């Protein structure tokens, strides 16, 4: 018979956790308590049980694949630090925790250096609560997976998790009827990446400092409520992207300090109400393939541009919103400005249909061109208006921060140089307008 030390050495060499024997010996439904310490090797849980760590025991994987694999129903894993050692294969869905059994609960676990943090595959009614997931810090996003990855599951719950430095924070594919609340995702590619997943509710989450706060695609009946999509900046960054998403409700959210606040393409019948879209370069990018959506009771404050329209038409309705740069009076005191607020101007029209115009978006020339076209409209931009702009912002469920005055008005030296072309264009439009005015009045 081998000595205990020799047996432990053989187990370690095989890549199997020394805890595996305790799992294999436990009856279904048992509570297995794991003492503090480091346990090297991979672990498979193939029967219902509650595996709980006291003193945060550390599970260090073999580096060849998944650290903890759950194949049985009704498993709870709680209180562990899990290290994937940067090993495994994306093709094999290697993860800190891989779940294929229904009704699993993963609670208060810290997962690091795994290709995927927690991967749920075709397992319904899973709960992930108060976990911390760190990807492989410094790795290229394409070389690792998502922090939380759900595939073909339903009835899931994600509560109070924190994810950073993975490819995508939370990735949902073909996964519906879930609740995602109180999670924080930072420093990833897409905070929330989402495809073919209907009837999910997102509440009180924060998605920050990523290429996109959320990229939602090919889904229906999503509810986004009291979330924050903030500080997502880069050449093509966006707070929330909607691609072919229908019957979506977006209310009481903060979309702040993004390159583009909201991006809508191919959407139908979406409702945006009581949101704050603030201090972004463009508040809304709207494709003419998006139809029958409505913006009502929102606050737009400190954005460099309210709207970038791509295409030649839109039936999206804007009404009863507050626009911080609207300057029409309210002479009758009803809280509505006396004339409609025009979202689109000639420069924003050019931005939507001429990519190179973005280079001059914050320039003095852009301001001159827009002002000249407002005074003497001679170009045929698509008119988009809010017929009932509010004088004062309504009370919202989210905080709003105005852009610093220096950020709004400051113009770098290189921008002044680049503005020369746009200044000339603005003067040309102004002169054309005066000539037309002279012809009409003579």
Residue 436, SS3 per DSSP: helix
Look at the block and give the residue holding tokens 């976990």.
131
Both 293 and 165 in one domain: the answer is: no
Q: Looking at the predicted structure, is the pLDDT value of residue 104 above 50?
A: yes
Q: What is the CATH number of the domain that holds 138?
A: 2.160.20.10
Both 127 and 268 in one domain: the answer is: no
Both 164 and 219 in one domain: the answer is: no
Q: How far apart, in whole angstroms, are the C-alpha atoms of residue 308 and residue 282?
A: 7
- For the stretch 260-272, pLDDT in tens is 999 999 999 999 9
| DSSP codes of every residue in 167-214 | SEEEEEES-BS-EEES-EEESSSEEEEEES--S-EEES-EEESSSEEE
Residue 10 lies in a domain: no
Q: pTM for the full model?
A: 0.82
Both 246 and 370 in one domain: the answer is: yes
Instruction: Provide the pLDDT for residue 27.
Output: 97
Burial of 266 (0-12, 13-18, 19+ CB in 10 A): middle
Q: Looking at the predicted structure, is the pLDDT value of residue 378 above 70?
A: no
* Reported confidence tier of residue 377, pLDDT bands at 50, 70, 90: low
Mean pLDDT confidence for 81-94? 94
Both 140 and 20 in one domain: the answer is: yes
CA angle 170–188–197, rounded 5-degree value: 25
Instruction: Provide the pLDDT for residue 367.
Output: 52
* Reported confidence tier of residue 359, pLDDT bands at 50, 70, 90: very low
Backbone region of residue 392 per phi and psi (left: phi > 0; alpha: psi in -120 to 50; beta: other values): beta
Residues facing 225 on adjacent strands:
203, 251
| Structural domain containing residue 273 | 211-428
Instruction: Provide the pLDDT for residue 355.
Output: 45
Both 176 and 215 in one domain: the answer is: no
Residue 255 lies in a domain: yes
Residue 358 lies in a domain: yes
Both 394 and 256 in one domain: the answer is: yes
Contact 76, 105 (CB under 8 A): yes
Residue 405, SS3 per DSSP: helix
b/e map 243-259, b = 16+ CB within 10 Å? bbbbbbebbbbbbbbbb
Instruction: Provide the pLDDT for residue 363.
Output: 52
Residue 96 lies in a domain: yes
Both 131 and 242 in one domain: the answer is: no
Mean pLDDT, the chain, integer: 85
Look at the block and give the residue holding tokens 């805890």.
19
Residue 69 lies in a domain: yes
Mean pLDDT confidence for 13-23? 91
Residue 285 lies in a domain: yes
114 contact partners, CB below 8 Å, separation of at least 6: 61, 67, 82, 83, 84, 88, 94, 95, 96, 135, 136
29 contact partners, CB below 8 Å, separation of at least 6: 48, 49, 74
Q: Which of 33-37, 149-153, 378-382, 392-396 has the lowest mean pLDDT?
A: 378-382
Q: How many other C-beta atoms are found inside a 10 Å radius of the C-beta of residue 61?
A: 27
- For the stretch 385-434, pLDDT in tens is 999 999 999 988 877 764 443 443 333 333 333 334 444 444 444 444 44
Domain count, the chain: 2
Residue 202 lies in a domain: no
Residue 350 lies in a domain: yes
Both 235 and 366 in one domain: the answer is: yes
Instruction: Provide the pLDDT for residue 234.
Output: 85
Both 295 and 408 in one domain: the answer is: yes
Q: Which of 17-31, 104-118, 124-138, 418-432 has the lowest mean pLDDT?
A: 418-432
Q: Looking at the predicted structure, is the pLDDT value of residue 369 above 90?
A: no
Distance (Å) of CA 378 to CA 110, 225, 311, 374, 442? 61, 42, 19, 9, 18
Half-sphere CA count of 122, side-chain side, radius 13 A: 2
Both 252 and 323 in one domain: the answer is: yes
Both 175 and 220 in one domain: the answer is: no
Residues facing 128 on adjacent strands:
106, 158
Q: Looking at the predicted structure, is the pLDDT value of residue 373 above 60?
A: no
């Amino acid at each position: 018979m081998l000595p205990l030390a020799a047996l432990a050495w053989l187990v370690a060499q095989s890549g199997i956790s020394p805890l595996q024997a305790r799992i294999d010996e436990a009856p279904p439904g048992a509570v297995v308590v794991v003492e503090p310490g480091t346990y090297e090797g991979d672990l498979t849980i193939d029967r219902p049980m509650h595996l709980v760590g006291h003193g945060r025991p550390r599970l260090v994987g073999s580096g060849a694949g998944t650290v903890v694999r759950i194949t049985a129903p009704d498993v709870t894993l709680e209180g562990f630090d899990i290290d994937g050692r940067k090993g495994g294969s994306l093709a094999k869905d290697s993860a800190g925790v891989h779940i294929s059994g229904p009704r699993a609960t993963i609670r208060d676990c810290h997962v690091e250096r795994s290709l995927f943090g927690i991967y749920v595959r075709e397992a319904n009614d899973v709960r992930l609560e108060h976990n911390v997931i760190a990807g492989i810090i410094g790795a290229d996003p394409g070389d690792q997976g998502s922090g939380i990855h759900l595939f073909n599951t339903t009835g899931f719950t994600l509560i109070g998790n924190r994810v950073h430095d993975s490819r995508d924070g939370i990735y949902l594919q073909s996964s519906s009827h879930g609740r995602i609340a109180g999670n924080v995702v930072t420093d990833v590619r897409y905070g929330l990446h989402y495809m073919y997943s209907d009837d999910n509710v997102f509440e009180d989450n924060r998605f920050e400092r990523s290429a996109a706060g959320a990229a939602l695609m090919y889904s229906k009946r999503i509810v986004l409520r009291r979330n924050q999509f903030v500080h997502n900046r880069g050449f093509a960054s966006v707070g929330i992207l909607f691609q072919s998403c229908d019957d979506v409700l977006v209310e009481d959210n903060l979309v702040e300090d993004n390159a583009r606040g909201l991006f809508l393409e191919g959407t139908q019948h979406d409702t945006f109400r009581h949101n704050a879209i603030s201090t972004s370069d463009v508040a809304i990018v709207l494709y003419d393939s998006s139809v029958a959506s409505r913006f009502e009771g929102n606050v737009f404050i400190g954005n460099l541009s309210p709207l970038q329209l791509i295409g030649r038409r839109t039936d999206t309705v804007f009404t009863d919103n507050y626009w911080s740069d609207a300057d029409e009076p309210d002479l009758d005191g009803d809280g509505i400005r006396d004339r409609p607020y025009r979202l689109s101007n000639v420069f924003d029209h050019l931005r939507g249909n001429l990519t190179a115009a973005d280079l001059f978006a914050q320039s003095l020339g852009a301001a001159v061109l827009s002002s000249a076209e407002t005074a003497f409209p001679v170009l045929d931009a698509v008119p988009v208006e809010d017929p009932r702009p509010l004088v004062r912002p309504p009370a919202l469920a989210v905080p709003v921060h105005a852009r610093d005055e220096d950020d709004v008005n400051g113009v770098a030296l290189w921008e002044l140089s680049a503005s020369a072309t746009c200044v000339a264009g603005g003067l040309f439009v102004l002169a054309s307008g005066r000539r037309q005015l002279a012809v009409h009045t003579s």
